[in-house]
Amino acid sequence: MQCFGDFLSGVMHVLFLFLAIVLSCHGCPDRCVCSLQTVKCQNQDLDAIPHSIPANTKFLFVTGNNISNIKMVFDNLPNLLRLDLSNNRIQSFSERAFPDDNKLQLLNLNIFGSLSSLVNLSLQNSSIITIQNGTLKVPPLRDLDLRDNSLRDLPTTTLAELSLKPGLHIRLAGNPWRCDCFIDDMLTWLKNSTQVVDVQNLTCADPEALKQHQLLQVELSQLKCSSEMEGVLETSYVFLGLVLALIGVIFLLVLYLNRKGIKRWMYNIRDACRDHMEGYHYRYEINSDPRLANLSINSDV
């Protein structure tokens, strides 16, 4: 009876798994591949976002197509977390493309290479956490709005790209800047550049000692990472101690397992040293007593 119950439980588990796969694939668009909560419509020469994308989709990849306009196409995807629209020909992106309560965490556009005439770009209040290297290299931007995002600092490579566009006006207020040792290059850039038009409104969000301080009034000597670095060093020392302790335990274990051989080896060395010392002692006695020396010579003859 127990075996029958286990068999029935296994069958039900397989059926539930099969049902979940079927439901996740239900309504999968043409020229797309659906797997659980992931939909991939890549390199299919699409000119629009496909319809009938499953409502439970969390990861959507529509890369390498010819899509140019993004309108209200994601309002029926409330669970969407990651959207990849890279390598398309997007010319317009409606602010109503997503529902107000969307959960989107990552949006990959990577489309600026095809926008050779892009001059004004507003990404205000877009939850941007970083700007990847090469993103702003191609378009001839004149106005870039990055206000009210989640930027903590700007990488050195991004600063270099922005510096290559001296006529570019940038807005950066409303971001939670982290004023520690990782922002020193950005702080130097801000103090020597005229590109950021709202530079007076940039303030530190942390650490607590510099909270609400204007970035322009922060000195490089105030940018500390001591507590974090101490924590890293502390962890490194602990790890090194554990490694050394482990090596010590292994060494002692090897000695214990080979204790008989080591003991025999030490006895052999002791006996060899004793024979060697006795030989030296005998030669010393012969050399110090002429009678023994003559006796030794006669015995040799």
How do the domains of the chain map onto residue ranges? 17-228, 232-297
Chain centroid offset of residue 67 CA = 31
pLDDT at residue 112 greater than cutoff 90? no
17-228: CATH topology is 3.80.10
Contact 202, 178 (CB under 8 A): no
pLDDT at residue 123 greater than cutoff 50? yes
pLDDT at residue 297 greater than cutoff 50? no
- The beta-strand segments (E) located in the chain are 33-35, 38-40, 59-61, 69-70, 82-84, 92-93, 106-108, 120-122, 143-145, 169-171, 177-178, 204-206
Query: Measured in Å, how far apart are the chain's first and last C-alpha atoms?
Result: 103
pLDDT at residue 188 greater than cutoff 90? yes
Rounded distance, CA 286 to CA 294, Å? 9
Whether the pTM exceeds 0.75: the reply is no
Distances (CA, A) of 225 to 153, 183, 220, 221, 222: 14, 11, 12, 11, 10
Distances (CA, A) of 74 to 92, 103, 104, 141: 15, 11, 10, 28
Most confident of 120-134, 161-175, 243-257: 161-175
- pLDDT at position 227 is 53
Question: Tokens 């797997």 identify what position?
Answer: 35
- pLDDT at position 145 is 94
Most confident of 72-76, 78-82, 289-293: 78-82
% residues pLDDT > 70 (the chain) = 80
- Mean of pLDDT over the chain: 81
- pLDDT at position 12 is 54
